[in-house]
Amino acid sequence: MTLPQSLSIATLIGMMMLFIWGRFRYDVTAILALLASIALGIVSPKDAFKGFSDDIVIIVGSALVISAAVQRSGVIELALAKLAKRVTRVRSQLVVLTASVGFSSALVKNIGALAMLMPAAFQMAKKNNTSPSVFLMPMATASLLGGLITLVGTSPNIIVSRVREQMTGQPFGMFDYTPVGLGLTVMGLIYLRFAYRLLPRDRRAAPTMGEALDIKGYITEAAIPETSPAVDESVEDFLARHDGEVSITRILRAGMRSAPNEHTHLRAGDVLILGGEPDALERVIARDRLKLEGEDREKADQADDDEVGVIEAVVNVGSPLAGRTAARLALQARFGVNLIAISRQGEHLSRRLANIELRAGDVLVLQGPLEQLPGKLRDLGCLPLAQREMRLGVSKRSWLPIGILGVAMGATAMGFVPVAVAFFAAAGLIMATGVLPVREAYDHVEWPILIMLGALIPVSDSLRTTGASDVIATWLSATASTLPPWGAVALILAAAMAVTPFLNNAATVLVMAPIAATFAGDLGYRPEAFLMATAVGAGCDFLTPIGHQCNTLVMGPGGYKFSDYARLGAPLSLLVLLVGTPLIVAVWPMH
């Protein structure tokens, strides 16, 4: 073994030890590993930053934007609403989420299926008052397993199919992977149903100060348009359809205000005074296409290049708002802002927003041009609260992000464009169409994750450039020649699973597939079983957040530590080895 090869392996071992130790944040550890590799000469300065242009960085960043848009649209919650009413226990919800993402990953890229279903995990976790980390890593794991079922589920399957075509003239077909992949997916789903308890319960993404404030009890005012599903619905049915998340404190009809009766039927043009938490109010307004008071007027008064948004602020002592109503102050006409919602500690408000006399200490949601809102707050004597997502009053086209994501996944499944191009285009369209404001899109990108990926790619690639991977391959070849057929298959499967955390899964297949094919020829066996073992092993990186973008995608939102992946993934990796080997040998004859 040459000195550069030894240094490459030693650097990777040292980096993994730092990850496990946890003294430095993961992106800082990755930067240190890259600097060490440059200093040792195993990564050249000209290649030091090539990782930041790698497809994985683009895929993960774009997927985070897409996921935020899907979550913001409320479509996923609506699609799962009926099922969620029946499935209330964490274990049952886990089965629904992992099975959904697992089988979806068989027909579309697993990263796309995971990005689309992550918002549902956040909603279920919030209703159960539990951490999303209970769901997210099991979902990522299920997406990896589901990707094994078909040719298009994951990139290693496609690469292995090409290797087989080069050797035998016949590639693997769309469903040639199904017997092995489906068996492993079902086994994995059963495992996750029980093994999720291995994850620490205290893992959460770092909360913002706004989330820590946890202000509740807002009221807002919204009109029912003719196209709303609430038209002709009784108050009782309206509240039941929304799971009692909001309340109707008053109904304004033809200038008359009345207390709601459960048998009162809602009509087009009714103005509802709604109470509830901001997220619940947002979902109800989105699902029923309600019109917030003053929303259209606000948008009409803004220039096309003004980004309209909302801010949460508290009325300060001495504010010109104190003791006066929004109608009397003419907030829109004089200050260019619209009052969207009010929260007052210890009181249940039921009057129209414009007629509520404001007090010091009231928390307001104000809508206006984002560039001007800080100055407007100073003029109004209000103190902005710590930033958090407050989406009341922001327009949306709920099905558009789903449509954009569906087209992107369809384009990749049909082979029209690479995954990175499709996801990058989808994220760009989401921002260009206004489905997700640009400012909010950038806020949802987990920049430390992208820094970690960009720094680690050249470090991991040093295994190939120094020839360290060839040394490992030679050792494996000598070892496999003394094993029985099933043992050789198991060794290739284990080796691919061991290598893929350090290389990305596509690189693992590029390195291991030729080795596996050579094994088969040297031992006098057909290559299919060994190639299938390579594909399965490369697609089953459950041990680290860096081997596959699905694992990386959930690391930040789930608040996971590097070592958490092995807690859930190590037993599953052993199960894949024990179950996958006989499955492969049974499905693909060796002679």
Task: Kindly report the CATH number assigned to the domain that includes residue 225.
Answer: 3.30.70.1450
Looking at the structure, tell me whether residues 376 and 430 fall in a common domain.
no
Tens digit of pLDDT for each residue in 438-471? 877 887 787 887 888 788 888 877 877 888 867 7
Q: Are 441 and 430 in contact (CB under 8 A)?
A: yes
Q: Are 221 and 138 in contact (CB under 8 A)?
A: no
> Nearest Cα to 572, choosing from 110, 196, 91, 115?
196
Looking at the structure, tell me whether residues 161 and 15 fall in a common domain.
yes
In a domain, 400, yes or no: no
Looking at the structure, tell me whether residues 273 and 330 fall in a common domain.
no
User: Which of 292, 326, 350 is where one domain is finished?
Assistant: 292
Measured CA to CA in angstroms, residue 136 lies from 96, 105, 345, 389 at distances of 13, 15, 35, 21
Question: Which of 296-300, 427-431, 451-455, 543-547 has the weakest average pLDDT?
Answer: 296-300
Looking at the structure, tell me whether residues 426 and 474 fall in a common domain.
yes
Residue type, 37: S
How far is the first Cα of the chain from the last one, in angstroms, to the nearest whole number?
36
Provide the domain limits for residue 481: 3-205+419-587
pLDDT at position 318 over 60: yes
Looking at the structure, tell me whether residues 52 and 165 fall in a common domain.
yes
Residue type, 394: V
> Nearest Cα to 150, choosing from 110, 91, 101?
110
User: How many domains does the chain divide into?
Assistant: 3
Q: Report, as an integer, the average pLDDT of 63-76.
A: 74
Looking at the structure, tell me whether residues 169 and 52 fall in a common domain.
yes
pLDDT at position 534 over 50: yes
pLDDT at position 60 over 90: no
Structure tokens at 176: 């040639």
Q: Are 186 and 179 in contact (CB under 8 A)?
A: no
Looking at the structure, tell me whether residues 265 and 363 fall in a common domain.
no
Classify each residue of 300-312 as buried b or exposed e, where b means 16 or more C-beta atoms within 10 Å of its C-beta: ebbeeeeebbbbb
Question: Which of 140-154, 222-236, 541-555 has the weakest average pLDDT?
Answer: 541-555
Looking at the structure, tell me whether residues 163 and 15 fall in a common domain.
yes
Residue 84, helix vs strand vs coil: helix
Q: Report, as an integer, the average pLDDT of 526-553.
A: 88
Highest mean pLDDT among 21-30, 92-101, 380-389: 92-101
pLDDT at position 208 over 50: no
In a domain, 344, yes or no: yes
Q: Are 38 and 45 in contact (CB under 8 A)?
A: yes
Residue 257, helix vs strand vs coil: strand
CA within 13 Å, CB half, 100: 22
In a domain, 523, yes or no: yes
DSSP state at residue 218: E
In a domain, 534, yes or no: yes
**Which residues is 314 bridged to in the sheet?**
363, 383
The per-residue pLDDT of the chain, averaged, comes to: 82
For residue 503, what pLDDT band results from cuts at 50, 70 and 90? low
In a domain, 395, yes or no: no
pTM for the model: 0.64
Query: Cα–chain-centroid distance for residue 465?
Result: 33
**Distance (Å, rounded) from C-alpha 360 to C-alpha 321?**
8
